[in-house]
Amino acid sequence: MNEVVIVGAARTPVGTFGGSFAEVSATKLGAVAIAEALNRAGVKPDQVNEVLMGNVLSAGLGMNPARQASLAAGIPDSTPATSVNKVCGSGLKTVALAAGAIMLGDADIVVAGGMEGMSSTPYLLAKARYGYRMGHGELIDHMIKDGLWCVLTDCHMGSTAENVALEREISRADQDAFAAESQRR
């Protein structure tokens, strides 16, 4: 079994909701991170065997956001790219998939990561495809519907986090310390 190592890393730019990156697509943010990770690792784009990118809020981005980010980062069109949607675990899942491909000898160099652009997610208009005959249409916030709303408990994921913190007795100070350390890394 082949050894797996991480040789380079870069985060997508992080902003505030509705802030300076509001008009920048997730695929563009992903492309910047991919290009910089390759640069830091000293890996040429044509050395990459595969690109795996997590993305949850894909409505309006176009087909296969991972492929778009890969091409925009300068990786050749002959290199396969796959988008992964596993909600909050999407980016981490790509790392696991990349490690598996390398361990099994299916690839030597894999780009793995995630990309989102919450500010640029569209609203959805269900039932509009075939027209409304009468009555109101409801605009649905894609970010809430597909990224932040738990279909199992029918509640916002922020509420779920608060409930888990209460149940497990995790203080706000502990949460803040964990978040600060995560951001530092």
pLDDT at 185: 80
Give the residue-averaged pLDDT of 20-24.
94
- Say yes or no to pLDDT of 25 above 90: yes
- Nearest alpha carbon to residue 49 among 83, 76, 84, 11: 76
- % of the chain beyond a pLDDT of 90: 83
Banded model confidence at residue 182, pLDDT cuts 50, 70, 90: confident
- Nearest alpha carbon to residue 88 among 118, 124, 61, 121: 118
d(CA 150, CA 88): 12
Helix axes 26-41, 65-72, angle to 10 degrees: 50
82: helix, strand or coil: strand
Name the residue ranges covered by the structural domains of the chain: 26-120, 123-184
pLDDT at 109: 99
Kindly report the CATH class assigned to 26-120: alpha beta
Under a CB-based contact definition with an 8 Å cutoff, are residues 70 and 55 in contact? no
Banded model confidence at residue 5, pLDDT cuts 50, 70, 90: very high
Q: What is the pLDDT of residues 118-127, one digit of tens each?
A: 999 999 998 8
C-beta atoms surrounding 103 within 10 Å:
13
User: What is the value of pTM for the model shown?
Assistant: 0.89
Give the residue-averaged pLDDT of 65-72.
99
Banded model confidence at residue 176, pLDDT cuts 50, 70, 90: very high
Task: Work out whether the CA dihedral 180, 100, 111, 2 comes out positive or negative.
Answer: positive
Banded model confidence at residue 131, pLDDT cuts 50, 70, 90: confident
One-letter identity of residue 32? V
